[in-house]
Amino acid sequence: MVEINFLGSCREVGRAAVFLEAEKENLLLDYGINVQTLDVPLEPKKPVDAVVISHAHLDHSGNVPALYRKGYNKNVYALPATFALCDLLLKDSIKVMKLKGIEPFFNAQDIQKMQSRSKNAGFNKKIRLDSGMLEFFDAGHVPGSASILAETGGKRILYTGDIKFEETRLMKKAFTDFRDIDAVICESTYSYKDHPDRKKLEDTLKKMIQNTIYNNGIVLLPCFAVGRTQELLLIVSELGFPVYMDGMGLDATRIILQKRKSVKDFKKLQKAFSQVRKIRRAKQRKNVFESPCIVIATAGMLNGGPINYYIKRLYSREDCTMILSGFQVPGTVGRTLLDTGRYIYGDIDVKPKMRIEFLDFSAHCGRSGIIKFLKKTSPEKVFLVHGERTQEFAEELKETGFNAFAPKRGERHML
């Protein structure tokens, strides 16, 4: 028997955390933060015997070091690329919290404690715990991402993490051949829609870039450091135009290239990155404006990062284009720009003359993919997390025969 305690990511995107309480072992699957508000999940009410991280994004990993600050001293399991990327993102999050005037939830020593207890997992290799077992499967989301099958308390529970069922330039598609699953805890970020065809999306991106550069403009590509930076680099490197990269995406790409198995085609990414003009110091940024080019820079939602330096220099130029390519959380600079047409950052509040576009390069599965996956997996119960419309989706799934739930934060379910 297993009791599933939903600590976070319930009827919202962010602060993922699921606690599996079995008679002999308690497992914590992810422990993230809300990247916009910095809200954290509920704390487990029982001792944690093992922590599992599905991938490095802060909404899944961002509060794990806080466990070690509070006395947790046992193992944390993830893929090698996830641990390496976590180190980068978690240390940066300390800086972000300080800039926001918030006392950091942990420090560098807590991150070191977490890394000292890290246990590397591999795909399709079972990890034996004291009384249960873990198995990691490719989730196709970003480098190092995994879906986790936990066998504990006599039950087989599949936690999808963030998952992508279609192949992309960067990643292979997710593994989906699961059997005899008692419960699926499934992300449902896009339960309400499907994403555009990836090839058509790439063609549209290339045409937008070509039109801008042939008009002597500059293209800005704000990107998440992990995943989107590398995927768009692989696409735009084929165009033959100068490409600059600035911000944390540089460090993330170097880390990913050290973990060759974390991406679909290591050699292509290595070649594309070797040709990039890397901005390592602020004074190098002035070189970008000398001629038409492409700039890939963090942050993907425009909340901080060097991308804002380029926007401030270019927002009044009609010959330039900025292309947002990922989910924009409500309240972020990027979401405000898309919703209102105004760029509001610091003391700047303007309506840009530069062209603003959005292309849906999501690294998450879409609605029809979730339904197809659940039908194939055929679990006894489905728990929908990591989405803002989980209640409606649960009702729709019930009408098609699924025993589906949209748990609230703090809610418990027995298996």
Instruction: Give which of 39, 328, 382, 386 is closest to 178, Cα–Cα.
Output: 382
Mean pLDDT of 48-59: 98
Percent of the chain scored above 70 by pLDDT? 100
65, with CB counted inside 10 A (0-12, 13-18, 19+), is buried
For the chain, give the number of residues.
415
User: Which letter does DSSP use for residue 263 in this model?
Assistant: S
- The kind and range of the H/E element at 136 are strand 133-138
Residue 27, CB-side half-sphere exposure with 13 Å CA sphere: 27
**Which residues have CB under 8 Å from 202's CB, separation 6+?**
169, 235
Mean pLDDT of 64-91: 98
Integer Rg of the chain from CA: 21
- CA distances 85 to 41, 350, 398, Å, are 21, 35, 38
Domains, the chain: 2-193+363-414 (3.60.15.10), 198-358 (3.40.50.10890)
- The kind and range of the H/E element at 113 are helix 108-116
Q: How far apart are CA 360 and CA 194, in angstroms?
A: 10
Mean pLDDT of 377-394: 97
Give residue 215's Cα distance to chain centre.
Answer: 34
Mean pLDDT of 370-391: 97
User: Which letter does DSSP use for residue 286 in this model?
Assistant: G
pLDDT band at 192 (very low <50, low <70, confident <90, very high): very high
- pLDDT tens digits, 136-151: 999 999 999 999 999 9
Range in 240-244, 245-249, 328-332, 380-384 the model is least confident about: 328-332
- pLDDT > 90? residue 330: no
pLDDT at 403: 98
CA angle 269, 271, 276 (to 5 degrees): 95
Instruction: Give which of 176, 188, 140 is closest to 378, Cα–Cα.
Output: 176
- Crossing angle (nearest 10°) for helices 266-274 and 228-236: 70
**Which residues have CB under 8 Å from 362's CB, separation 6+?**
164, 189, 190, 195, 326, 327
- pLDDT > 90? residue 224: yes
Per DSSP, helices labelled H in 117-173 are none
Structure tokens at 334: 């990027």
- Quick check: 112 and 268 in contact, CB under 8 A? no
- pLDDT tens digits, 31-41: 999 998 999 99
Percent of the chain scored above 90 by pLDDT? 96
- pLDDT tens digits, 236-255: 999 999 999 999 999 999 99
- pLDDT > 90? residue 124: no
- The kind and range of the H/E element at 6 are strand 2-8
pLDDT band at 329 (very low <50, low <70, confident <90, very high): confident
pLDDT at 5: 98
- pLDDT > 90? residue 301: yes
pLDDT band at 346 (very low <50, low <70, confident <90, very high): very high
Q: Which amino acid is at 3?
A: E
- pLDDT > 90? residue 112: yes
**Which residues have CB under 8 Å from 203's CB, separation 6+?**
none
- pLDDT > 90? residue 278: yes
- pLDDT > 90? residue 327: no
Q: How far apart are CA 16 and CA 183, in angstroms?
A: 17
